[in-house]
Amino acid sequence: MNAHDTVSTEIAAQLVVPGSPSLPLVSAVRYDPCDPYAVHVQFVTGVDEVVEWTFARHLLTEGVTHQVGEGDVRVWPATADGRAVVCLALTSPGGRALFEFPLADVVEFLTSTYTLVPSGAESSFFDIDAELAVLLWGEGA
């Protein structure tokens, strides 16, 4: 594996709007072995406005088959308009949002991430000493 290998793709998502039709939007999902426990999701919310959320890869993985998470990030499988989807609910001080992603696209993305960094091998890609130095002494950033 090249140290710069990442998995990234765009997934067409739906922003669920209570009492109105869902709004289509494009999300960019990314996985970087340098941050092996996390996935990053970006949403374009305006002409040049992007909102990024980072959360645990295992949360998205488990959310494909059952409801997981509490607090700011929750994930669960569902059916919307006859389609298998993965729901992602995000909460921040600025508000709440519910997104639906096609299940097949999420599974394809996750499969690629686990090909790059298998489950249980994350610690091999994570330099705990360097991370602690950044946190404790502000070094190496």
Structural domain for 77, as ranges: 7-137
pLDDT over 50 at 104, yes or no: yes
Which pLDDT does position 133 carry in this prediction?
Answer: 65
Range 18-24 average pLDDT: 89
**CA dihedral for 123, 126, 130, 133, sign (positive or negative):** negative
Task: Please spell the DSSP secondary structure of 21-35, one letter per residue.
Answer: --EEEEEEEEE-TTS
pLDDT band at 127 (very low <50, low <70, confident <90, very high): low
4: left (phi over 0), alpha (psi -120 to 50) or beta: alpha
Q: Is residue 47 part of a domain?
A: yes
Q: Is residue 1 part of a domain?
A: no
pLDDT over 70 at 130, yes or no: no
pLDDT band at 129 (very low <50, low <70, confident <90, very high): low
Total tally of structural domains belonging to the chain: 1
pLDDT over 60 at 121, yes or no: no
Which pLDDT does position 139 carry in this prediction?
Answer: 57
pLDDT over 50 at 100, yes or no: yes
Which pLDDT does position 131 carry in this prediction?
Answer: 55
Q: Is residue 2 part of a domain?
A: no
128/59 Cα distance (integer angstroms):
21
Which pLDDT does position 108 carry in this prediction?
Answer: 97
pLDDT over 90 at 71, yes or no: no
Q: Is residue 100 part of a domain?
A: yes
Closest CA to 80 of 63, 100, 66: 100
- The domain that holds 131 is classified in CATH as 2.30.31.20
Q: Is residue 96 part of a domain?
A: yes
80/30 Cα distance (integer angstroms):
24
Q: Is residue 48 part of a domain?
A: yes
